[in-house]
Amino acid sequence: MELEPVTDLPEIRPGDDLAELIATRTTLEPGDVLTVASTVVSKAEGRTADLEEYPVSGRARELASRLEAITGEQKDPRFAQAILDESSELLIEAPFVLAETRFGHIAPNAGIDRSNVPGHDILLLPRKPTESAERIRSGLTERGHEDVAVIVTDTCGRPFRHGQTGVAIGWAGMPASRDWRGELDRDGHELGVTVQSVVDELAAAANLVTGEGAGGVPAVVVRDWAFGDLEGSDELFRAVEDDLVREALREWTFD
Ligand code: GDP
Ligand code: MN
Ligand code: MN
Ligand code: MN
C-alpha cells in the first residue's frame, strides 16, 4: 500500500470544486482511495461561521456557565450555541462537550474546529459528509477517474486513550467495514465478532501524511490497496440501542 500526499492545493474557498482541484494535481487509478480532510470539504461547502452569527439561547448560556464553573476557563456562550445547533444530542456537557452531530458522528464540540480557518471564527463539519464524499466521487468520475473511493476524514479523540487519530466521517465507493465473522483464525476457530473498520483505518493512515498543522496537505491518495473478498458493511456509527457506553453516560454527571 502506498500513501501519496496531494500537494500544491490552494487555500480552499466556498464553492471550490475539490474533485477538479485534486484531479489536476495527482493521478488517480481505478481502485485508488482518495481521503479528503473534512476541513477543506467544509471550506468548499461554505461551512465557515463567525460567532456573532449565533444569537444565544438560554440553554447555550446555561451550558457555557456550567462549563466555566467546572473548568475555571472563560467559555463563549455563542460557541455553546454553535455546538447546540450542530448537535442532535449532548452525551457529556461538562467538563467538555461531547456531542452527536446531526449525521451521527460523536465528537467533542460536535467536531467544530477552530484551527486552519483563516478569516473566520469557526468551521463546522460538513452537513452530510457521506453526500460530500459521493459528490467528490461523481466529480472524479465526470473527469474520467472511474472507480475511486472517497473518504472524508476528521481528527478525533478516542475514549480510553490519549491522543487523536484520523477517522472517517463520510465515505463513498467502498464499504465502511470488512466483516471477518465466520472466517477462521489460525487455530481453526471461527471469528465471532470481528468487523474491521476499514474506512477508519485508512483515515488514520492518511492522517499520518496530512498532519494537523500548517502542512497544507488535506488530501491523500491510497494506492495498491484492495478491500478484498470479505463481506462489506456500511455500519460505522453505533445505533443508540446497542451502545452501552452511551447508555452509561446518560446516567452520569460530572460533579
Ligand atoms: P481536519 O483533521 O479535517 O480538522 O483538518 P486539519 O485542520 O487537521 O488539516 C489537515 C491538513 O489540511 C493539514 O495539513 C492542513 O495544513 C491542511 N489544510 C487545511 N486547510 C487547508 C486549505 O484550505 N488548503 C490546503 N492546501 N491545505 C489545508
Ligand atoms: Mn483543523
Ligand atoms: Mn477537524
Ligand atoms: Mn486533522
Nearest CA to ligand 1 atom 5: 39
Do residues 43 and 13 lie in contact, with contact meaning Cβ atoms separated by under 8 Å? yes
Residue 230: is its pLDDT beyond 80?
yes
pLDDT tens-place string over residues 48-74: 999 999 999 999 999 999 999 999 999
Establish whether residue 43 lines the binding site of ligand 1, counting it when its CB lies within 6 angstroms of any ligand atom: yes
Which residues constitute the domain of residue 65? 49-125
Per residue in 20-40, pLDDT tens? 999 999 999 999 999 999 999
Cell triple for residue 165?
Answer: 487519530
Tell me: do 227 and 203 sit in the same domain: yes
Residue with CA at minimum distance from ligand 1 atom 25: 216
AA identity, residue 99: A
Last residue of a domain, one of 72, 96, 125: 125
Q: How far is the CA of 13 from the centre of ligand 1 (A)?
A: 12
Residues 65 and 155 in one domain: no
Q: Is residue 63 part of a domain?
A: yes
Among candidate residues 99, 125, 151, the one where a domain is terminated: 125
Name the residue at shortest CA distance from atom 9 of ligand 1: 212
Grid cell locating 108: 467533542
Could you count the other beta carbons within 10 Å of the beta carbon of residue 20? Answer: 14
> Domain check: are 199 and 172 in the same one?
yes
ipTM beyond cut 0.85: yes
Structure confidence at residue 48 (pLDDT): 97
Q: How many CB atoms lie within 10 A of CB 74?
A: 8
Assigned C-alpha cell, 243? 451502545
41 and 53 belong to one structural domain: no
- 202 with 190, same domain: the answer is yes
Residues 72 and 194 in one domain: no
> Is the domain of 41 the same as that of 165?
yes
CA distance 36 to 19: 10
Q: If DSSP codes are grouped into helix, strand and coil, which group holds residue 170? A: strand
Task: Please check whether residue 252 lies inside any domain of the structure.
Answer: no
Residue 189 lies in a domain: yes
Convert the pLDDT of each residue in 103-126 to its tens digit: 999 999 999 998 889 999 999 999
